[in-house]
Amino acid sequence: MEKYDAIVVGAGTAGCLAAKTTAEKGLKVCLIDKKPREEIGEKICGDALGEHHLKFLGLEKPTGGELEAKIDGIKIFSPDENTVFTIADKDFIGYLLNRRLFGQWLLKKATDAGASLQDNMNFRSPIIEKGAVVGIIAKNMKTGKVAEMRSKVVVDATGYFGMVRKQLPAEMGIDREIANEDVEACYREIRQLKQETENTRFCEIYLNQKSSPGGYVWVFPKGGARVNVGIGAIMRPGYPNPKEQLYKTTLNKPMYEDSKILAAGSWFDPVRRPLDNMVGNGIVLVGDAASLVNPIHGGGIGPSMLSGYFAGEQIVQALEAGEPTKEALWGYNKRYIDTYGKKQGTLDIFKMFLLSCSDDDLNYGMNQKLMTEDDVLKAGMGDDFKLNITETAKRVFRGLRRVGFLNKLHMTVTMMRALGAHYNTYPATPDGFEEWRAQTVKLIEEGRQKLLN
């Protein structure tokens, strides 16, 4: 039986980067996916990606149709659509992807680096011996043959369902379940319109707490009179049916008259802080399998690639040093948390704030600039909301009719700061992790209690 250094389960954006990074350093890597090769990359998604993610990873701009449209910024509409925030920054360049071609482009990078692909391979279970993951059982969907595959490290890159993660023993100290209230149920269509819309340079986001609580409707121009239009709603008890809501609120608008559905479907987006720990003996979790999505806008392509890259580098380092133990792989946790996870964690609190607002609150808050474009931009960039005294006073004055809203915003900012400071103390080794985790859970629960209960 062949033995690999690493088996990467799932050839999405996270898995391809993990396979590429490890194979480039000479490791023997097997990348498996349940899809046939030509369908890898296809995903129900908003297809939006900031260019900075490619730059950070040292990836050149793809030129073979992977990028379908260039975007200058985002327009956020208040629930009554009377106020529009335009979020654009000179440093922000965004793209609408052809998701399949982009996935194929990343896949080629992984295989060119030397990773061997086994497609049509459905992961079934991890092989666990003496407290370490040492391989997987997978079934070839074409031949029906069940294979046992061995490796020093297994990477769970199976996306939202975290197929490996769910089957890990509790002693590994990795959370196995993601609560529904931390997940957005989404429905999305790609539509060919009769004619190009006026707006071809901005992604549009429509807030509405009744039809998309905690989420939003998006309309993203893809070029050639095509749009990616979808909706996400947090799966709290009684959440509305996303597809019904998209048809009721959006697809009945004149611009969709006589349009053609090119693709349609539902999927899930985990919108919470990253898993507190993403490694164990012989196992690393990346991308959606580790809940690495921005809790506010639901973007996970960038963080998933980042996590695949960081995980790959850490695996190489661990194997060079000896065994891929939890201790040896821990540096991946720390690096991800320091780079992006801290921001994701604090935005989890901001997500709760948004979820707690009524449509009236949002209309008023946006209209009276109690929340500003700058706040949203800073939140998106992971910066602090630094309100100076005059600015705070102005907002208090403007917000007199909504003191409760303003107080809640201030409380949110305070809790975000406290959580951010706590993330700065993420342990460099597994020692002290349990105390760190207990404090994280406490701070998140405090946010939930104060904002949502």
Ligand X SMILES: Cc1cc2nc3c(=O)[nH]c(=O)nc-3n(C[C@H](O)[C@H](O)[C@H](O)COP(=O)(O)OP(=O)(O)OC[C@H]3O[C@@H](n4cnc5c(N)ncnc54)[C@H](O)[C@@H]3O)c2cc1C
The torsion angles phi and psi of 47, rounded to 5 degrees, stand at 70, 15
Q: Provide CB contacts within 8 A for 128, sequence distance 6+.
A: 134, 168, 169
7, 8, 12, 117: which one contacts ligand X (CB under 6 A)? 12
Query: Smaller CB distance to ligand X: residue 161 or 436?
Result: 161
147 burial (CB, 10 Å; 0-12 / 13-18 / 19+) is middle
Residue 346 touching ligand X (CB under 6 A):
no
Residue 159 touching ligand X (CB under 6 A):
yes
49, 106, 132, 217: which one contacts ligand X (CB under 6 A)? 49
* String of contacts with ligand X for each residue 218-247, x by CB under 6 A: ------------x-----------------
Whole-number CA gyration radius for the chain:
22
Query: Smaller CB distance to ligand X: residue 232 or 324?
Result: 232
Residue 136 touching ligand X (CB under 6 A):
no
Q: Shortest Cβ distance from residue 322 to ligand X (Å)?
A: 28
Q: Provide CB contacts within 8 A for 142, sequence distance 6+.
A: 120
24, 66, 68, 288: which one contacts ligand X (CB under 6 A)? 288
Residue 6 touching ligand X (CB under 6 A):
no
Residue 186 touching ligand X (CB under 6 A):
yes
**Residue 3 structure tokens:** 């033995």
Q: Give me the half-sphere count of Cα atoms (radius 13 Å) on the Cβ side of residue 29.
A: 29
31, 48, 352, 357: which one contacts ligand X (CB under 6 A)? 48
Query: Dmax over Cα atoms in the chain, in whole Å?
Result: 72
**Rounded to an integer, what distance in angstroms lies between the CA atom of residue 255 and that of residue 245?**
17
Residue 287 touching ligand X (CB under 6 A):
yes
Residue 304 touching ligand X (CB under 6 A):
yes
Task: Give the closest residue to 415 by CA, choosing from 442, 388, 378, 376.
Answer: 442
**Residue 43 structure tokens:** 């995903």
**Residue 351 structure tokens:** 């997500």
Residue 10 touching ligand X (CB under 6 A):
yes
Amino acid at 356: S
8, 19, 31, 44: which one contacts ligand X (CB under 6 A)? 44
Q: Name the residue with the smallest CB distance to ligand X.
A: 300
Stretch that binds ligand X, among 29-37, 86-94, 172-180, 349-357 (CB under 6 A): 29-37
Q: Shortest Cβ distance from residue 297 to ligand X (Å)?
A: 8
**Rounded to an integer, what distance in angstroms lies between the CA atom of residue 83 and that of residue 158?**
39
Query: Smaller CB distance to ligand X: residue 293 or 352?
Result: 293
280, 302, 324, 365: which one contacts ligand X (CB under 6 A)? 302
25, 109, 152, 188: which one contacts ligand X (CB under 6 A)? 188
**Residue 401 structure tokens:** 């009719």
Residues 55 to 74: which contact ligand X by CB under 6 A?
A: none
Stretch that binds ligand X, among 40-48, 75-83, 340-348, 349-357 (CB under 6 A): 40-48
**DSSP string for 298-356:** ---HHHHHHHHHHHHHHHHHHHHHS---HHHHHHHHHHHIIIIIHHHHHHHHHHHHHHH
CB 34 within 8 A of CB 141: yes
Residue 347 touching ligand X (CB under 6 A):
no
Binding residues vs ligand X (CB under 6 A): 9-15, 32-35, 40, 43-49, 121-123, 157-159, 163, 186, 188, 230, 267-269, 287-289, 293, 298-302, 304
